[in-house]
Amino acid sequence: MDDRRVGWHTGAVASSRSIGFAKGHGTENDFVIIADPEGELKLSDDDVAFICDRRAGIGADGVLRVVRSQYVPDWGGDQDLWFMDYRNHDGSTAEMCGNGVRVFARYLIENGLADGPMINIATRDGVKPTEALGDGRYRVAMGPVIVDQPEVAVQPAGLEMPLPARAADVGNPHAVSFVDDLEKLDLRTAPTWSPVLRFPDGVNLEFVRRIGPRHIAMRVFERGSGETRSCGTGTCAAAAAAAVEAGQTERPVSYRVDVPGGTVEVELHDHQSYLTGPAVIIATGELILPG
C-alpha distances in Å from residue 182, one per residue of 1, 15, 88, 94, 243: 47, 48, 24, 26, 19
At residue 260, what is the residue type? P
Give residue 212's Cα distance to chain centre.
26
- Indicate the residue type of 138: Y
Known binding residue 222? Answer is: yes
What is the spatial distance between Cα 33 and Cα 102, in angstroms, rounded to a whole number?
12
231 is catalytic: yes
Question: Which residue out of 140, 185, 231, 257 is catalytically annotated?
Answer: 231
Q: Tell whether residue 111 is among the known ligand binding residues.
A: no
What residues form DSSP beta bridges with 281? 24
Torsion sign over Cα 216, 222, 226, 228: negative
232 annotated binding-site participant: yes
Helix (H, G, I), strand (E, B) or coil at 209: strand
Annotated catalytic residue within 43, 52, 96, 97: 97
Peptide bond into 191 cis (omega under 30): no
User: What is the radius of gyration, based on Cα positions, of the chain?
Assistant: 19
Q: Is 5 annotated as a binding residue?
A: no
Confirm or deny that 223 is annotated as ligand binding: yes
Residues 6+ apart with CB under 8 A from 262: 27, 28, 230, 277, 278
- 52 an active-site residue? no
Q: How far apart are CA 122 and CA 129, in angstroms?
A: 9
Binding-site residue numbers are 29, 88, 98-99, 172, 204, 222-223, 232-233
Binding-site residue numbers for substrate are 29, 88, 98-99, 172, 204, 222-223, 232-233
Residues that are catalytic: 97, 231
